[in-house]
Every structure is written in structure tokens, then in C-alpha cells.
Amino acid sequence: MRIQTLDDLLSTVKALPRRRLVVAWANDAHTLEAVNAAVEAGLVDAILVGDEPLMVQVCLEHGFPKERFRMVHAATDTEAAAKAVAMVRSGETDLLMKGLLSSDKYMRAILNKDQGLLDSGAILSHVTVLEHPGHSKLLIVGDVAVIPEPEIKEKVAILGYLVKTAQALGITQPKVAVLAASEQVMPKLSASADAALLSKMAERGQIKGALVDGPMALDCAIDPESARIKGMGGPVAGDADCLLFPNIEAGNVFYKTCTKLGGAELAAVVAGARVPCILSSRGDSARTKLSSIALAALLA
């Protein structure tokens, strides 16, 4: 069944066996609100790693039953991140989530050479599923938060994570638009040249499981009328399921424009580690964090 909305995502994951989630530095009400909702909905069982007296206090203040969680005390945010990652490494948990600690400390624990979650040769990337009120279907996009200037090897990895996520959402053969400023191939622009190369690799079977086209401007990727006016043919033009951005600036501006000005809702994970890792912003809503937990559980 194809998952059409983020509500569909929650309903689908509710019907699956519960995953085991560990949260690093779970000291804030927003994080605990989302985790409490995920446990209450039957999505996950949760372990909270953080300042235990503070976590208990937040639960009491906001009416979250502390008995729903297993709590593990950590004196600092870095200690909490290390303990949470160790639980994943030991097989005790299936998912990792960032609480109130900063993204760099969270990522440092994941990337730790000896005690982290990254296997040799693996590439981390951020995958976002966007539900925009002005668009007819979910969009799976990347990378908007992790890889600043992806080279072709990294773009192949990003594309693979987008396709895997789309397939988990029930899209058998996702349509991927590799974005650039124009649909015209411009060899001097790396985004354009890389897009053309990825498109050819997919055409020849080096990239499997998806229909890939590029370079493609954003309007041609998601708007059938723009694609028609510009004479863009093929199955991807005007109907892309996935958007691969040329760099983090393009992806991040798109992501924040959709959410802050366009009213989009989202779910997001970091892919490429041993388990899906939830990297929500400290300013993200509890709804975003809950949807991200559901996406991570679906992908685990």
C-alpha cells in the first residue's frame, strides 16, 4: 500500500511490531512529548538517556507517565550521546534519536571511529519526507542537512537513500529528479554535469530501482504544466517523487521555505548508519519529531 500522507505513515507503523528507541539527552518537553506520543501510539518502546531527575520533573510537569519509559542517567550531553550509541551498538535498541544536545555532539558520537555507528565506507545523508499543502503527494528530498557539497559518489549514495525511503513508503519505482538551475545540460556547471551523469548511469542499469532524470529545474520536476511548456518529456518530468539537490544550500533553503512559508509538515532521518538516526532540530515541533520517529521505525 502506498503511503500518501504523514497520517498514513503513522497508521502504517502502528500496525507493525514496536521498535526500540533510545533518545540521547532527553531533557526537554518537546522531545518527551513526541516520544510519549510515539509510545502511547504503539510505535516504539523508549529508553531515555539524560539527567534523570530533570527528565522525571519534565514528565510530572507535563503529565507524561514516567513509567512508560526506561530512564538511564547521564551527567552531561556528551555522556548521554555515548551511552545511547553504545546501546545501539550492543543491539539493545533499533533506533537513535537526538534530544536537547547540539547536532555536532550528536553526530560526533555517531561518527566516532571506534565506538560509533558508521561502518567502513558508509556515507551518512539526511532524508526528508515533505507533505506540502500545495502539492498532490509526498516529496522525498535530500540532502538538506548533512553533506555540504556532495561529489558524484556521495550523490549516488544520496540517491540510493531517497529511493529506499520512497520504496518503504510504497512507491515501487520512484521517479527521481536530479536538480540544477536549468534542464539544459551545461558541462561547466558541476550540478548539471553530475545530473546528466546520474541520469545516464540509471539508464544503463548502474543505478537500479528508480527512474532518474536530470538535470532538471525544480519547476519541471514537480509541475506538469511547466514541463509541458518547456517541452520536457519522460516519466519523471512534472511528476517526481524524489528530489536530489546539488548542494546543502539549495536543499536547506527549499526545506525551510516549504516549512516556514509554505506550511509543509515533515519527517526526517539520517540514513547510512547501522540504524536510522533521528536528527530533528531542537526547534522542531513535537509533530515533526513524532513523524520522524515513525519514519525511522518504518525504515529500521
- SS3 category, 194: helix
Is the domain defined by 125-260 classed in CATH 3.40.718.10? yes
* CATH architecture type of domain 6-119+275-299: 3-Layer(aba) Sandwich (3.40)
Write down the pLDDT at residue 282: 65
Encode pLDDT of 252-277 as tens digits: 999 999 999 999 999 999 999 999 99
Mean pLDDT on 88-109: 95
Cβ proximity of 247 and 110 under 8 Å: no
Write down the pLDDT at residue 281: 76
pLDDT value at 90 more than 80: yes
Mean pLDDT on 193-197: 97
Write down the pLDDT at residue 277: 98
Mean pLDDT on 72-98: 97
Can you spell out the DSSP letters for 229-288?
A: HTT--SSSTT--SEEE-SSHHHHHHHHHHHHHTS--EEEEEEESSSS-EE---TTS-HHH
| Location of C-alpha cell 512559508 | 261
Cβ proximity of 112 and 85 under 8 Å: yes
Mean pLDDT on 109-122: 94
CATH 3.40.50.10950 range(s) for the chain read 6-119+275-299
Alpha carbon distance 48, 206 (integer Å): 42
Mean pLDDT on 62-72: 96
CATH 3.40.718.10 range(s) for the chain read 125-260
Encode pLDDT of 212-222 as tens digits: 999 999 999 99
